[in-house]
Amino acid sequence: MYKDMNGSAHRLAPREIAVTAEPEDERVWVPQADKVWFRPLMLNTLQGQWCNLLRVRRSGILSRHLHPNPVHGYVIKGKWHYLEHDWVADTGSYVFEPPGEIHTLTVPDDCSEMITFFNITGSMFYLDENNKHVGYEDVFTKIDMCRAHYEKVGLGSDYVDQFIR
């Protein structure tokens, strides 16, 4: 069982997950910011891990953040980079982010859509330009975002349960 922020208990789905990564139903994509969505694939409450697709349909800076644990990414479509590095992750690129590194995720002007698979454990801390903590995400905030969105769009708040482990 999983309990959300309100203390409501929810049944966990079976252990295996097999889902279409890019669903036909747009409602599965959870809004995260203006023209930025994520599609949950697995939300592991026991290890604090989540795997999702990040879809961006705008250029510019998305966030300045750090992770206390390693992050793995694979670019499915488009491209992006960190302002702090000289590389660009484009379609087919694998990215490893070491723990503790501060980076500013940016989508270039010539990219109309970016989709990247991310495997994240722990949390993600959002920072301002002075490295002051301004927010965070973890598997539980992701679940709460999904639950609220799926309820709002008519899929039902328990739609997210299929991704929770």
Q: How many angstroms separate the CA atoms of 77 and 114, rounded?
A: 5
- Show the domains of the chain with their CATH numbers: 42-163 (2.60.120.10)
Which tens digit of pLDDT belongs to each residue from 89-122?
999 999 999 999 999 999 999 999 999 999 999 9
Q: What is the pTM of this model?
A: 0.88
Q: If DSSP codes are grouped into helix, strand and coil, which group holds residue 77?
A: strand
The encoded tokens of residue 23 equal 């669903």
| 124, 69 contact by CB (below 8 A) | no
| Amino acid 94: pLDDT | 98
Say which residue the tokens 């698979």 belong to.
117
Which tens digit of pLDDT belongs to each residue from 135-145?
999 999 999 99
Give 55's strand partners.
37, 115
Band of pLDDT at residue 13, cut at 50, 70 and 90: very low
| Nearest residue to 49 via CA among 61, 62, 40 | 40
Q: How many angstroms separate the CA atoms of 6 and 136, rounded?
A: 19
Residue 25, CA distances (Å) to 18, 141, 143 in order:
16, 23, 19
Band of pLDDT at residue 3, cut at 50, 70 and 90: low
| 57, 85 contact by CB (below 8 A) | no
